[in-house]
Amino acid sequence: MATIRTIPGVRGTRYSVQIRTCGVSESKTFSTRTVAKEWAKRRELELKEQPHLAGTQARKRTLAQAIDRYIRDYLPERSASQQRNARTQLAWWSTKLGHLPLHLVQAPLLVEARDELRRRLSPASVNRHLSALGAVLTAAAKEWHWLPSSPMGAVSRLKEPQGRTRFLSTEVGPDGTSELSRLLDACRISESPLLYEAVLMALTTGGRRMEVLGLTWGDLDLENLTVTLSGQKTGHRRTVALSPVLAGLLRPRRGLPKALVFPSDQDPGRPTDPRTAFETACRRAGVSDFRWHDLRHCAASYLAMEGASLAEIAAVLGHKGLVMVQRYSHLSREHTARASARIGEHIGLG
C-alpha cells in the first residue's frame, strides 16, 4: 500500500511516496503526484514477483499469524454459520501447528495432521478442516505474499460417502396410504399447532431447518405466492415459490413483518423447536429412519421426479454448484424413462 506525502518548497511542491510490501519498505520523491503513483504501482508489482521475498516472509510469519489475519479480514464477509464452523476448524490447526513458521508448514506435515483427524472425524469433516486451512494458505500466498505457494495443493482429500437421500414415498400401499400422506396426517393432528405448517414449508421450499423456522412475515409474499429464504448456511438469500395451499393456511394468522412465522410458545421472539413433536408424528405415522433434514431431500427428490434439471434443483436448494445435487440425478433419469415408456404404450409399442 503506497503512502504519498506532499512536501512544499521554494522550488515547488514535491511528492514523497513510500511503499511497504512483502516486508520491504522503500521511498522516493517525485515532482508530480501522478509520477509518484505510477512508480509506487510498478515497484509494488516488481517486489511481489520476487519469490525470495515471499520466502523471507514465510520464515518471519507463523501459521497462527496467518490464521488470525484470515479470521480478522476474511471471515466477517461470510455467514454466521460459516464463521462459526471456520473458527472451530482453524482453532484446531492453530493449536496443532500454529507455532510453526510458514516455511515449515509443508505437505508431509499436513498429511500427518489429516491422518490424525481421520481417526476421530468423518471424511467429510476432515475435508472441511483441510478446506478451511487451505483458504488461509491460499490467501497467504496470493494476497499477502507470505508464501511462494500454498502447500495444500499437494494434500489429497478423503473420499466421502454418497450423501443420504432418504425421502418420503408417495406410493400408495395396500392400506390406501403412503408414507407422505401418513406423516402429514400425523403432523396435522399434532399437539404442536405449528408443526403441520412448518413441515409443509420445508417440504415445498426445500429450506434448511433454521431457514424455515427463522422465517418472518416480511419474508412471505402471500399475494404473489413467494417466500424468501435467508441462506442461513451460504449467506445468499433466495426466493422460491410458496404453495397456494400453505399460503391459505398462513393468511389467517399473518403478523407484523418482523414477527416470526413459527414462534415458540414460551418466547415469541424465538423460533419454535419442533424436534419432539416431529419425532412423535413420525412414530405415529410408522415412518422410520426419517429426520427433519430429510424433508429437504424430499423437496429435491420430488423436483427431480417432476423433471426439474439439476441446475433448477440447485437453485431451489441454494447450492452454488451441481455437486451436492448429483445424488438426485438418478431419480430424474428413472422418471424420464418411465414417461418415455408411457409414450410407447400410448402408441401401441408397449
pLDDT for res 28: 83
Would you say 31 and 16 are in contact if contact means Cβ atoms under 8 Å apart? no
pLDDT for res 342: 54
Instruction: Render pLDDT for 245-271 as a digit per residue (tens, 0 to 9).
Output: 999 999 999 999 999 999 998 899 999
Alpha-carbon span 194 to 262, nearest angstrom: 7
Please say whether the dihedral angle defined by the alpha carbons of residues 168, 171, 175 and 181, taken in this order, is positive or negative.
Answer: positive
Residues 65-72: what's their mean pLDDT?
A: 96
Residues 240-245: what's their mean pLDDT?
A: 90
pLDDT for res 343: 53
pLDDT for res 350: 47
pLDDT for res 282: 95
Q: Does residue 349 register a pLDDT over 60?
A: no
Alpha-carbon span 195 to 175, nearest angstrom: 25
Alpha-carbon span 262 to 252, nearest angstrom: 14
In CATH terms, 179-346 corresponds, of 1.10.443.10, 3.90.960.10, 3.40.50.300, 3.40.50.1820, to: 1.10.443.10
Nearest to 165 by CA among 273, 289, 318: 289
More confident residue, 151 or 350: 151
Residue identified by cell 497467504 is: 140
Residues 59-79: what's their mean pLDDT?
A: 91
The CA-atom distances, in angstroms, between 308 and each of 87, 135, 155, 320 are 37, 34, 36, 16
More confident residue, 314 or 302: 302
Strand partners, 18: 3, 27
Residues 6 or more apart in contact with residue 229 via CB below 8 angstroms: 205, 207, 208, 211, 212, 215, 219, 237, 238, 239, 240, 318
Instruction: Render pLDDT for 4-56 as a digit per residue (tens, 0 to 9).
Output: 888 888 778 888 888 776 555 678 888 888 888 888 888 777 666 555 445 57
**pTM of the predicted protein model:** 0.56
More confident residue, 294 or 341: 294
pLDDT for res 338: 58
pLDDT for res 130: 96
Nearest to 200 by CA among 241, 255, 148: 241
Compute the mean pLDDT over every residue in the chain, rounded to the nearest whole number. 85
Confidence of residue 160 (pLDDT cuts 50, 70, 90): confident
Question: Per the structure block, which three cell numbers stand in for 127?
Answer: 475435508
Would you say 233 and 79 are in contact if contact means Cβ atoms under 8 Å apart? yes
Would you say 285 and 195 are in contact if contact means Cβ atoms under 8 Å apart? no
Confidence of residue 315 (pLDDT cuts 50, 70, 90): confident
Least confident of 91-100, 183-192, 224-233, 326-335: 326-335
Share of the chain above pLDDT 90, in %: 45
Would you say 241 and 226 are in contact if contact means Cβ atoms under 8 Å apart? yes
The CA-atom distances, in angstroms, between 335 and each of 122, 180, 296, 304, 332 are 33, 19, 20, 8, 5
Question: Phi and psi for 193 in degrees, rounded to 5?
Answer: -65, -20
Residues 54-68: what's their mean pLDDT?
A: 84
Nearest to 281 by CA among 198, 178, 185: 185
CATH no., domain 60-154:
1.10.150
Confidence of residue 150 (pLDDT cuts 50, 70, 90): very high
